[in-house]
Amino acid sequence: MYDLIPGLGQFVGTVGRLDLETSGLLLLTNDNALAEGMTNPAYKLEKTYLVKASTLLTDEQLSQLAKGVELSDGITAPAIVKRERDSEKYTFLEITIREGRNRQVRRMLEAVGSKVLKLVRVRIGPLTLDGLQMGKWRELEPAEVVKLRKLTRAKERS
């Protein structure tokens, strides 16, 4: 990943993580307080993923995902789940979570009897992949940083 940002001139760390089998939005920052605010489960910053499931999922399975499913480390918080489309053998869905457990979306699909064939993170809070080609990066606009700080501080006060 760091080979994509040569000559940056300063150390940056990741905000959250993507496993080897997941692609999509990854934020790098040198602002430790912002990174903490974005990854701390107490702040409940939304992360949205596009999923290709290994099976056709029923409405009941999608409802289970939305309500929360039992994992080895406890029940998941409710999620926002939208069926994008079905093909002959697979369901494509969008899932938005507010937690950041290890391999959470994959484990959630397994809990309802399916598996993830493809997983792409497309949103973290207000940040999206819109207009950004795969393997490319951009600096955040100052207004985006302000918004992220406000979102995490707002959660801290509530």
Q: How distant is the alpha carbon of residue 150 from its chain centre? A: 19
In Å, how far are 17, 35, 84 from 140, measured between CA atoms? Answer: 18, 14, 29
Which residues are registered as beta bridge partners of 47?
A: 97, 124
**Candidates 19, 59, 73, 86; catalytic one:** 19
HSE-CB for 25 with a 13 A CA cutoff: 19
**Catalytic status, residue 19:** yes
36 membership: H or E segment, kind and range: helix 32-39
**How far is Cα 150 from Cα 140, in angstroms, rounded to an integer?**
15
Strand locations in 6-144 (E): 13-15, 22-24, 27-29, 47-53, 70-71, 74-75, 80-86, 91-97, 116-124, 127-128
Annotated catalytic sites, by residue?
A: 19
